[in-house]
């Protein structure tokens, strides 16, 4: 990649409580789907890298699980991963739901940022106040100033946005670029993530489950690719994904009457993966019951949740 002497590059760690729009933001700015999205809290379970390269700069986004009070071993791993990205960041981007006043979780995130910045003065903090479209006009001043005060930032270090309507995304991008250090790019200009396709395939299936099911099923679902190979004498890629749940009742809901729910999940995921990989896919879904897998360290390793 050809770069000017003042080329900027940096890592931006997104921090926020669950369901504030961090994954939606990364996908929107990167221009590719690197994180799955749903209306369920804690959709993102692993650290995910998204890379945006433009003339003059490269932004390496780290999408993290939402910081919350964990009640399972998986939940604790997720929060540890979110906290662990701080040491890699040139910019901390706190994402909040500005339609509401700060919550206890927002206070925890703000304290985490302040503690880290007190010992790492070169790292910058910016605050993205998302969901501005849901805020009443009478509440704008009170809510915005509450977040300025909570994070201890100046007005020009925060911005109001609406990710779903792409409002102020260009201004947010400018805000981030201005905070990046001058250094060479870390990735080639055609790279947009460091995630292997096996991971992306498993997450695509889990996303469809999250979008199509309700109640306790989404939180109890894990996915992992068990098989990935080209079928003999054909150009069809065979991908087998295990969908793990905790109870027989959840398995029944996921399979559905005459297998209709599982078929719908498979069809939606297959179409998306065929578009990503530009090849025909035979997607095989296997539903397995593993009681309390979210509390079991061995099962979490089997499902490839990083515990480092």
The domain segmentation of the chain, as residue ranges, is 8-179, 197-302
- CA dihedral (203, 207, 213, 218) in degrees, to 10, reads 50
| pLDDT computed for residue 37 by the predictor | 63
Query: What is the chain's length?
Result: 308
Report the distance separating Cα 244 and Cα 193, nearest Å.
Answer: 26
* Angstrom distances, CA of residue 64 to CA of 17, 43, 83, 125: 10, 10, 9, 16
Contact between residue 8 and residue 180 where contact means Cβ atoms under 8 Å apart: yes
Closest CA to 58 of 34, 29, 37: 29
Tokens 């005459």 sit on residue:
258
Closest CA to 261 of 223, 217, 299, 300: 217
Q: Along the 308 residues of the chain, how does pLDDT read in single tens digits?
A: 445 568 999 999 898 888 888 888 988 999 888 875 656 555 554 567 889 999 999 999 988 765 545 445 555 555 565 556 677 789 999 999 999 999 998 998 898 889 889 888 899 999 999 999 999 999 999 999 999 999 999 999 999 999 889 999 999 999 999 999 999 999 999 999 888 888 889 989 988 998 898 876 767 888 999 999 988 777 899 999 999 999 999 999 999 999 999 999 999 999 999 998 899 999 999 999 988 877 877 877 777 665 44
Tokens 């003042």 sit on residue:
6
Report the distance separating Cα 112 and Cα 186, nearest Å.
Answer: 27
| pLDDT computed for residue 4 by the predictor | 57
* Angstrom distances, CA of residue 241 to CA of 201, 256, 270, 291: 8, 18, 11, 18
281 - beta bridge partners?
237
Q: Which residues contact 260 (CB under 8 A, 6 or more apart)?
A: none
CATH number listed for the domain at residues 197-302: 3.30.300.20
159 - beta bridge partners?
128
Closest CA to 219 of 206, 200, 237: 206
Domain 8-179 has CATH 3.40.50.300: yes
Q: How far is CA 151 from the centre of its chain?
A: 22
Q: 304 exposed, middle or buried (CB, 10 Å; 0-12, 13-18, 19+)?
A: middle
Q: Which residues contact 190 (CB under 8 A, 6 or more apart)?
A: none
């Amino acid at each position: 990649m050809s770069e000017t002497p003042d080329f900027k590059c940096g890592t931006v760690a997104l921090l926020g409580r669950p369901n504030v729009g961090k994954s939606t933001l990364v996908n929107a700015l990167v221009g590719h789907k690197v994180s799955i999205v749903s209306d369920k809290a804690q959709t993102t379970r692993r650290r995910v890298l998204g890379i945006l390269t433009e003339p003059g700069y490269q932004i390496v986004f780290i999408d993290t699980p939402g910081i919350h009070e964990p009640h399972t071993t998986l939940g604790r791993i997720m929060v540890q991963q979110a906290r662990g990205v701080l040491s890699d960041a040139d910019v901390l981007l706190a994402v909040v739901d500005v339609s509401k006043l700060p919550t206890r979780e927002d206070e925890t995130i703000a304290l985490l940022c302040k503690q880290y910045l007190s010992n790492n003065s070169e790292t910058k903090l910016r605050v993205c106040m998302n969901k501005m479209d849901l805020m009443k006009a009478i509440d704008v001043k009170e809510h915005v100033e509450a977040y300025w005060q909570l994070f201890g930032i100046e007005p020009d270090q925060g911005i109001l946005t609406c990710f779903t309507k792409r409002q102020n995304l260009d201004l947010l991008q400018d805000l981030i670029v201005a905070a990046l250090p001058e250094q060479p790019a870390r990735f080639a200009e055609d790279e947009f993530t460091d995630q292997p396709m096996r991971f992306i395939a498993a997450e695509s299936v889990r996303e469809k489950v999250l979008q199509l099911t309700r109640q306790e099923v989404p939180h109890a679902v894990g996915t992992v690719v068990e098989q990935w190979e080209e079928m003999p004498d054909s150009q069809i890629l065979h991908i087998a994904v295990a969908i793990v749940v905790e109870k027989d009742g959840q398995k029944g809901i996921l399979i559905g009457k005459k297998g209709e729910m599982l078929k719908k999940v498979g069809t939606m995921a297959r179409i998306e993966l065929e578009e990503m990989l530009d090849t025909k896919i035979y997607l095989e879904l296997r539903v397995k019951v593993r009681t309390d897998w979210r509390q079991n360290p061995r099962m979490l390793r089997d499902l490839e949740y990083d515990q480092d």
